[in-house]
Amino acid sequence: MATSSAGPAVVIRPMIADDLPVAMVILNGAILTSTATFRTDPVDLAERREWLVGLAKDNYPCFVAESIEFSNRESETTAKVTRVLGWCNLSCYRSLQGYINTVEISLYIQEGFRGRGLGTKLINDILPEARKRGYRTILAMVAMENEINVRFWEKQGFKQCGVLRGVGRKFDRWLDVGVYQLML
């Protein structure tokens, strides 16, 4: 698992059920304010629990980036404070048997913590898991209007292999989706 030496430590670890309330808040923020997801209705904790159980049942990895800070005040014992800042998971691309070695990747970082390398750290930990589980290719579906997101996936080594024109609708407009592929 990865850690950071500057500022609070950042640990990448498997997601557990206790992480779901924060993960839900992060996802709901993206749902309500961005085209990072084409969901339009916020999710609830029960849906997120079912999602995590389903990932585990189907053997798809899901990691969180967690900051860890230690306080060491004279009047207090050292305390550990943790905070989930984002997550990354792999999931089924298509349910047909011929696609069993192809997965789709999802990545969400909490507002205010984007652009700090957390997404790269998460991807760097999930890629070895993908290889270990025998996946051949990972697909990222990216709203083309989000140039920062497009550049991010390209920086991670994903190559654009197509654009689906006007397939997504959010915020009263039609959106193009880029299909980005990483061969393992």
Q: What is the pLDDT of residues 73-114, one digit of tens each?
A: 665 656 566 799 999 999 999 999 999 999 999 999 999 999
Which domains are present in the chain? 9-136 (3.40.630.30)
Write down the pLDDT at residue 4: 41
Write down the pLDDT at residue 68: 86
Evaluate if residue 3 carries a pLDDT over 50: no
Q: Which helix (H) or strand (E) holds 147?
A: helix 147-155
Rounded mean pLDDT of 42-60?
Answer: 97
Q: What is the pLDDT of residues 11-24, one digit of tens each?
A: 999 999 999 999 99
What are residue 177's phi and psi, to 5 degrees?
-120, 125
Q: What is the 3-state secondary structure (H, E, C) of 68-88?
A: EEEECCCCCCCEEEEEEEEEE
Evaluate if residue 166 carries a pLDDT over 60: yes
